[in-house]
Structure 1
Amino acid sequence: MIPIQLTIFFMVIYVLESLTIIVQSSLIVAVLGREWMQIKRMSSVDMIFISLGFCRFFQQWSSMLYNFCFYFNPNTTFWYIGMIWEFTNTLTFWLTSLLAVVYCVKVSSFAHPAFLWLRWRILRLVPQLLLGSLMISCVAIIFSIIKNHIKFQLIAMMHLPGNNTVTERIKMQKYLIFQYLIFLVIPFLLFLVSTISLIASLCQHLGKMQRHNIGHHDSSLKAHFNALRYLAFFLIFFTSYFLAIFTAITGILLNRRRWFWVWETVIYAIVSVHSTLLMLSSPKLKKVLRARCWSLETA
């Protein structure tokens, strides 16, 4: 067993990470929401950003409520809180993949007619795609509700000897877990394809710029290097988050009860860094962060 002092340490780190994510999400919603109120319009990227902000805000609160309730009352079911987390987690995956797709079609320099048509269509269909992501997440949560219902039935039937229904329901539960994972794997694959395509496009464009003897101190060249660095971090951290969530759902590596707070700390450290990278990738949010840092330095 992990010593109680170490458990408390990881618990405190988890709370600090959660509060950081909540503040980051609130800042995204506040900044972009205020701008929308002022100019009465919002870009496609900002629509996804503000949706992600709302989603991450509720996801983190539900995570904190569920984790503390589960840890201190393991024999009590808190399925309704868990459903909120699963719904917002699924929606986060789809919104992140949509953001990657929009960045890819907006920034990539591919000149194929099919790609140009895709760019024209996607940038105009972002509101409908956001609604589609919401509907897909609602469908995914139905599988989770059925899975939890079967889980409660299994717990109730475990004490009955020679009950063949238990085996059938265990198979059904595994099937539903597999179905739910599909709703996470598909947006993750979309994210991978879009991000890798964008990296390939930027590398191709960067090679052309260097062949034309543009100096390394040129602002455009620096911007490309910074974009590639951000994309590499996005790829690493979102992939790490997917693998962590996949491991937690399937339970293939760790004893959840024994390593509970260590695992939660790792997962939400990744989320916190990923949220920070998202904020730094937005010029509007970066401007607000710089202004606040400057005001703190001069205070």
Structure 2
Amino acid sequence: MTPTSHHQEGAGGVERVGVVGCGLMGSGIAELSALAGYDVRVAVSSRSTPAAGRSRVAASLDRAVRAERIGAAERDEALGRISFTSDLLDLADRQLVIECIAEDKDAKVELFALLDKTVEDPEAILASNTSSLPITTMASATGRPEQVLGLHFFSPAQRMPLVEVISSLHTAESALARAEEFVTVGLGKQAIPSTDRTGFVVNALLVPYLLAAVRMVESGFASAETIDRGMTLGCSHPMGPLKLADLIGLDVVRSVADALYDEFKETLYAPPPLLTRMVESGFLGKKTGRGFYRYG
């Protein structure tokens, strides 16, 4: 867990952070930012969601206290820094807004157009946590494309040390520098730069590897257990590719694969039929209790 000591007042010129969406990634980024000392406001899609969002963050902070990563006082202070709203207009005063809604291009474009009208500070950074969609498309929906960039956190955001900082052809150097300072000085994370290419750095390498493992299972060449043991014991990976795919979510793996294939038209990016059938059957991995393995 990122301790509060990382936060420097106004790192990257940011003190007030907005997060749109409170699923796994949104709640994780909100928690991380609050623990680092930021004033965080989370916008959710419906009036019933704020309570669910708050309880998700509280449960995660409680786990961190039990694991002795933070103290009870830190937990209480962090919760006190997070507010929830179902009205996007409540993000008007934010200096950085991070979008964490579903990987749906049309929905994201619509949201960025709304954020452009809502966020008052023309220097505010509008960031997307997308794992695969073009930043340029979202930037073009705004009147301030130079202030739009990608901040791709990895799950769980509270624990994983990396953030990809993605620039489009429009992004201003000053916005990039401020975003990187927020990530490194403010949140205490490691940042790597990426240009605006589908999959960015990590997923462009990771997803073909995961798909190759799925194809091995599909062809009957090897079982999921055999493949995963091979990679953990033979390559010192902390987790095999199929267990990792289950953890990420097979729907997410397929959506990134689809985006990569759409952009590059290379066979290694094409989702194998087995992956598509599993997603269509609702076997999405750990979050649904069944993927390449069974859970719970």
Same fold (TM over 0.5): no
Structure whose CA Rg is larger:
1
Between 1 and 2, higher relative CO (CA 8 Å, sep ≥ 6) is seen in 1
Structure with greater proportional helix content: 1
- Scaled by the length of structure 1, the TM-score of the pair is 0.29
Structure with greater proportional strand content: 2
- Scaled by the length of structure 2, the TM-score of the pair is 0.29
